[in-house]
Amino acid sequence: MFYGGPGAGKTHLGIALGTMAINNQKSVLFYTVHSLINELVKAKEEHSHEKLMKKIEKADLLILDEWGYLPLHQEGSRLLFEVISFCYERKSIIITTNMEFKYWKNFLFDEKLTVAIIDRLVHHSHLLFFDRESHRKKHALMKQG
């Protein structure tokens, strides 16, 4: 789990680790949480959910970017729980977030579901804290003056 403010390098490191895994003949999937939810919802509607879950099952590493940036609807939260449960103890997951665990229920909207997701994610996890100034802000063309 990569936790820290915007622009601190979480996504950059996730992509770098994904690239290293690919270079070592590992299969990697990268999604923003919302793109994954949208794909899962569409797959449910088109009756191809099982096919998408098989794609996720084949990956050695699943990278979920922007965890908690936007609230999910109830079905989205349930589908995300399904993916996390499916991957639990089967494959590696990298999550990038700027949200503390105690606020996850605000975007997942279900306290029991939130606790179950956190329980599975933290069981074998390492938390990397990105405590630095935003790279984008530091190198912005628009400076306060």
51-64 per-position pLDDT tens digit: 999 999 999 999 99
Chain segment 63-96, per-residue pLDDT in tens: 999 999 888 889 999 999 999 999 999 999 999 9
CB contact burial 42-52 (16+ within 10 A = b; e otherwise): ebeeeeebeeb
Domains and CATH numbers, the chain: 2-134 (3.40.50.300)
Specify the residue for token string 């939260």: 77
For residue 117, count other CB atoms closer than 10 A to its CB: 22
DSSP helix/strand/coil, 3: strand
Take residue 11 and report the two structure tokens written for it: 């996504």
Query: How many residues comprise the chain?
Result: 145
